[in-house]
Amino acid sequence: MDLLASEFAMKDLGPLSYFLGIAVSRHAGGLVLSQRKYAEEIIKRARMSSCKPSPTPIDTKPKLSALSDSSCSDPSLYRSLASALQYLTFTRPDISYDVQQICLFMHQPMDAHMQALKRVVRYVKGTIDHGLHLYPSSISTLLPYTDAN
């Protein structure tokens, strides 16, 4: 800290506890990064505070398509929620693929896309306490791998 302070104008604010909407909790084995408050705001913005939680983030049977029967009634809400869910993936890698699929249709969302987005929000509601657990590693070397095929 002293070396950094000699080079840059800075101030030590103590142990990290909250930064850019991410809460940091320390425990004996490492850190837990959580965006619970942010997730609650997304649920509230989607007007889904009283919805029933979903056990899975997306329905695996029907695939999302750009071709659908009807346009989304509120495309700006769709874009706003999809963008918010993108930021939530920093501490929720479990929804990364599903949010990426939703974001593919931000240019022209349809009702089916909004239903998929709402399912992700319902899943987030049911797993609101999930976060990213970081543990120290005993591995001190980087092991690269490549597949020539």
How many angstroms separate the CA atoms of 127 and 53, rounded?
A: 8
Q: Give buried/exposed letters for 97-130 (b at 16+ CB in 10 A, else e).
A: ebbebbbebeeebbebbbebbbbbbbbbbebbeb
Mind listing the pLDDT tens digit for each residue in 104-127?
999 989 888 899 999 999 999 999
Alpha carbons within 13 angstroms on the beta-carbon side of residue 129 total 0
pLDDT of residue 57: 84
What is the predicted pLDDT for the residue at 68? 66
Asked if the structure places residue 99 within a domain, the reply is yes
In three-state form (DSSP H/G/I as H, E/B as E, the rest C), the secondary structure along 25-46 is: EEECCEEEEECHHHHHHHHHHC
In 3D, which of 128, 122, 132 has the Cα closest to residue 57?
122
Domain assignment present for 149: no
Instruction: Please give the residue range of the domain that contains residue 41.
Output: 2-134
pTM of the model: 0.81
Residues with Cβ < 8 Å from 15, sequence gap 6 or more? 26
User: For residue 102, what pLDDT is reported?
Assistant: 93
Q: Does 147 fall in a domain?
A: no
- 141 within some domain: no
Average pLDDT value for the chain: 89
139 within domain boundaries: no
So what's the pLDDT on residue 72? Answer: 77
Per-run averaged pLDDT (10 residues), the chain, 149 residues: 89 88 92 95 95 85 71 88 96 94 91 92 95 89 82
Q: Give how many domains the chain has, as a whole number.
A: 1
